[in-house]
Structure 1
């Protein structure tokens, strides 16, 4: 995924599925460095972590 697509997803009102290493995540914010995002893993733990944008896959 690229930074422009992350910005589109963040501004969209649609529920767009994004995966990080096979796990479904919710993008919380684009970090200031422009190469990472803060995500929440979807599920019971609701774990928050910072990951590289290049490791995200849509759908």
Structure 2
């Protein structure tokens, strides 16, 4: 995925499914470097991770 698409997803009111290593995640923000994003797993756990945006996949 690229930074432009992540910005579109973040500004969208739609529920757009995104996965990281096969797990469904929410994108919290695109980081300032434009190459990483902060995400957390969908569900009760709120643990956040910083991941390379190229590893995110839109379903």
TM-score where L is the length of structure 1: 0.94
Number of positions where the alignment pairs a residue of Structure 1 with one of Structure 2: 59
- Find the counterpart in structure 2 of residue 57 from structure 1: 57
Which runs of 5 or more residues in structure 2 are unaligned? none
Root-mean-square deviation (CA, aligned residues, Å) is 0.7
Which runs of 5 or more residues in structure 1 are unaligned? none
Q: Write out aligned runs for 1:38-49 (5 A).
A: 38-49=38-49
TM-score where L is the length of structure 2: 0.94
Q: Give 4+ residue runs of structure 1 displaced > 6 Å after superposition.
A: none
- Does the residue aligned with 2:5 lie in a helix, a strand or coil? helix
- Find the counterpart in structure 2 of residue 29 from structure 1: 29
